């Protein structure tokens, strides 16, 4: 079993350059309706035989113009729209927007609310990575892990339903704190889930992570070097899969992440499998963080005092970023003193991550497109906003 | 010796005579306002080559023409299906102190130094009617799509960009939606 990169498979050796041997290239239109594009993404692939010579991702099918919509809505109404970017992990979206707005307003978030924010964001990271694990298995041809992953994810969604009534778009993290408290019943059910998932994560390793077919299929393709990952502005597990140690939770801790003891898993070669395995290990770290946060949950208020129902932040500009499930989600917010944000820009991790596809697909076999695309773990709602 | 925020600003200002520290910084981050579009490639080369800012985090802009008009843009302000419609919350487009509306596009770039854990913002004001800025795609591949986004939504021309075409909005849409004077033309998908 050879899963190491093979030099004879390098792009320059696969693409026919001799004009005498050149035959017609073929244009393959993949998507926008394709089960493996995780939304509505179109890829224009130019093929020479079975090898890709040019890949052009075409996005925008889900563009809803949330940045523009927010310019006519009050800050509290904007939180609802943030849920719709990355709908597979909406909590960090809420959080990033609230952190930026709180910087402008100057709100001091109570400690209990901060701990709850951490718990909910990390639960959402597990839920989001479980979707990745399941659907990536399907992309590659392993159907079983999908059923397991969604069974576990369902437990998280039940917890969210208990918490705020919503399963996907929560609107739970609000300006100055959070919307609802948790009780002993919720904590017990969450602990039960944490105990349930720990052995399951080991089970996934036997089921998928170290499955020889899966390894051969993912270990030597989609390589992104360290320099290339930084130059393309990748973030999240895609950046760390290439061995760059950068995690916003460590670099610029927010919501008291500095109090929690956790590791940042790193990949080595930047292959599809490294990105995959980073996510699997991140789930273990998230379990650690949630356990620690629940163990020392402070008591007290849920919302900061003195925030108006319709806040009017003083004029100014703020930038806040969080380590969302898919990478570094940044919010640049400008206030002119009115009740609506004057301008809001989302630095969407999926949008930036997807751009690297045009480089790493060139020279790959057409059969590997799905494996490479799936390993980037994009959500088109966030790519297009 | 580790690099500090002050060092970064000092190095940038020393290299670029026309630049100055921004009067309204992005809160908590060092912000430098460039004097002319020609400063940008020099600043980017200095940041990337000598100061280790290899990570282009964000490219965007703000249109300072004035707030968007409420009427005409959003037809229905989300009516409640069961309750009688209450008056919409007042959204008051009043310029606070220190804000003046003028027809410029204020560009913003954010660069990160992942080793030293630093971030620096660059600003540049360009006129609304001739928004031309040199591209950074040669130095940072990450600029490719983000510049296309700024072109699509704000109409900024990045000179030298290899593939400056629309990215998010549909082909039939004319205008740049994030400009403050953008008027939405109804299309078949609106209803």
User: For residue A335, what is the nearest residue in chain B, using CA coordinates?
Assistant: B96
| Chain B contact present for A345, CB below 8 A | yes
Mutate to test the interface with B, among A39, A40, A58, A72 (most CBs of B within 10 A): A72
Least confident of A170-179, B43-52, B90-99: B90-99
Interface A-B: count of C-beta contacts within 8 A: 142
Collect all residues of chain B within an 8 Å Cβ-Cβ radius of residue A59: 167-168
| Whole-number percent of chain B with pLDDT over 70 | 79
Widest distance between CA atoms in chain B: 65
User: pLDDT tens digit string along B142-188?
Assistant: 898 999 999 999 989 999 888 888 888 888 887 888 888 777 766 66
CB B40 within 8 A of CB B124: yes
pLDDT tens digits in sequence order for chain A, 385 residues long: 445 555 555 655 666 667 777 777 888 888 787 766 677 888 888 888 788 888 888 888 888 889 988 888 889 888 999 998 988 889 999 999 999 999 998 888 999 999 999 999 999 999 999 999 988 988 888 888 889 999 889 999 999 999 988 888 898 998 988 988 888 899 999 999 999 999 988 888 888 888 888 888 888 888 888 889 999 999 999 999 998 999 998 888 988 888 998 999 998 888 899 999 999 999 999 999 999 999 988 888 888 888 888 888 888 889 999 999 988 999 999 988 888 888 999 999 999 999 998 888 888 888 888 889 888 888 888 888 8
Domain boundaries, chain B: 5-66+99-183
Angle between helices A111-140 and A144-164 in degrees, nearest 10: 160
- Is the CB of A67 less than 8 angstroms away from the CB of B178? yes
User: pLDDT tens digit string along B110-141?
Assistant: 999 888 888 889 989 888 888 889 998 888 99
Q: Per-residue pLDDT for B74 more than 60?
A: no
Collect all residues of chain B within an 8 Å Cβ-Cβ radius of residue A352: 142, 145-146
What is the DSSP secondary-structure string of A67-135? HHHHTTS-HHHHHHHHTTSSTTS-HHHHHHHHHHHHHHHT----HHHHHHHHHHHHHHHHHHHHHHHHH
- Is the CB of A338 less than 8 angstroms away from the CB of B67? yes
Tell me the average pLDDT across B22-43.
84
User: For residue B27, what is the nearest residue in chain A, using CA coordinates?
Assistant: A318
CATH class of B5-66+99-183: alpha beta
- Is the CB of B96 less than 8 angstroms away from the CB of A336? yes
User: For residue B67, what is the nearest residue in chain A, using CA coordinates?
Assistant: A342
Residue B71 has phi, psi (to 5 degrees) of -70, 145
Collect all residues of chain B within an 8 Å Cβ-Cβ radius of residue A356: 141
Of the candidates B143, B62, B104, the residue with the CA atom closest to the CA atom of residue A317: B62
Which domains does chain A show, CATH number per domain? Answer: 7-58 (no CATH), 66-384 (1.10.645.10)
- The CA R_g of chain B, rounded to the nearest whole Å, is 20
Dist. CA A379–CA A385, nearest whole Å: 10
Report H helices in A205-271. 212-218, 226-231, 237-240, 248-251
Collect all residues of chain A within an 8 Å Cβ-Cβ radius of residue B55: 230, 233
pLDDT of residue A300: 85
Q: How far is CA A22 from the centre of its chain?
A: 41
Nearest CA of chain A to the CA of B14: how many Å? 25
């Amino acid at each position: 079993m050879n899963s190491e990169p093979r030099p004879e498979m390098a792009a320059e050796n696969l693409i026919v350059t001799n004009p005498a041997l050149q035959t017609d290239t073929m244009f393959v239109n993949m998507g926008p309706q394709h089960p493996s594009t995780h939304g509505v993404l179109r890829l224009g692939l130019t093929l020479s035989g079975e090898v890709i010579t040019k890949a052009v991702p075409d996005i925008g099918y889900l563009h809803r113009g949330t940045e523009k919509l927010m310019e006519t809505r009050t800050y509290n109404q904007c939180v609802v729209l943030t849920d719709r970017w990355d709908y597979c992990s909406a909590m960090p979206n809420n959080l990033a927007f609230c952190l930026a707005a709180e910087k402008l307003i100057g709100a001091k978030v109570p400690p209990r609310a901060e701990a709850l924010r951490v718990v909910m964001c990390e639960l959402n990271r597990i839920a989001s990575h479980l979707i990745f694990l399941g659907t990536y298995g399907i992309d590659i041809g392993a159907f079983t892990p999908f059923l397991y992953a969604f069974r576990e994810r369902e437990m998280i969604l039940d917890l969210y339903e208990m918490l705020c009534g919503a399963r996907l778009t929560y609107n739970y993290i609000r300006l100055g704190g959070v919307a609802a408290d948790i009780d002993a019943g919720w904590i017990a059910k969450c602990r039960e889930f944490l105990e349930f998932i720990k052995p399951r994560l080991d089970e996934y390793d036997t089921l998928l992570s170290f499955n020889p077919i899966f390894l051969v299929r993912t270990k030597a393709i989609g390589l992104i070097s360290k320099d290339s990952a930084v130059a393309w502005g990748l973030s999240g597990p895609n950046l760390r899969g290439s061995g760059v140690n950068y995690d916003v939770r460590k670099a610029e801790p927010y919501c008291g992440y500095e109090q929690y003891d956790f590791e940042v898993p790193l990949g080595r070669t930047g292959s599809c499998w490294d990105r995959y395995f980073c996510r699997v290990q991140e789930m273990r770290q998230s379990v650690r963080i949630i356990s620690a946060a629940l163990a020392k949950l402070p008591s007290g208020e849920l919302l900061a005092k003195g925030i108006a129902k319709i806040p009017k932040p003083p004029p100014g500009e703020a930038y806040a970023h969080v380590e969302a499930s898919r990478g570094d989600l940044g919010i640049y917010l400008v206030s002119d003193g009115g009740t609506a944000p004057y301008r809001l820009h989302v630095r969407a991790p999926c949008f930036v991550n997807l751009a690297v596809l045009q480089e790493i697909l060139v020279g790959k076999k057409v059969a590997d497109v799905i494996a490479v695309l799936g390993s980037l773990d994009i959500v088109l709602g966030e790519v297009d906003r | 010796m580790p690099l500090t925020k002050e060092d970064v600003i000092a190095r940038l200002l020393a290299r670029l005579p026309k630049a100055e520290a921004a009067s309204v910084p992005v809160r908590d981050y060092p912000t430098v306002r460039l004097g002319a579009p020609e400063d940008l490639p020099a600043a980017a080369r200095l940041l990337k080559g000598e100061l280790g800012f290899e990570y282009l985090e964000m490219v965007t802009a703000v249109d300072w023409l004035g707030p968007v008009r409420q009427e005409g843009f959003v037809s229905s302000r989300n009516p409640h299906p069961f309750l009688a419609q209450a008056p919409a919350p007042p959204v008051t487009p009043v310029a606070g102190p220190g804000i003046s509306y003028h027809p410029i596009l204020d560009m913003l770039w954010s660069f990160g130094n992942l080793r030293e854990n630093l971030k620096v913002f660059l600003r540049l004001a360009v006129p609304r009617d001739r928004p031309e800025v040199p591209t950074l795609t040669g130095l940072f591949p990450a600029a490719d799509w983000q510049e296309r986004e700024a072109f699509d939504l704000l109409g900024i021309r990045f000179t030298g960009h290899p593939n400056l075409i629309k990215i998010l909005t549909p082909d039939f849409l004319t205008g740049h939606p994030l400009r403050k004077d953008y008027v939405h033309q109804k299309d078949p998908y609106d209803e």
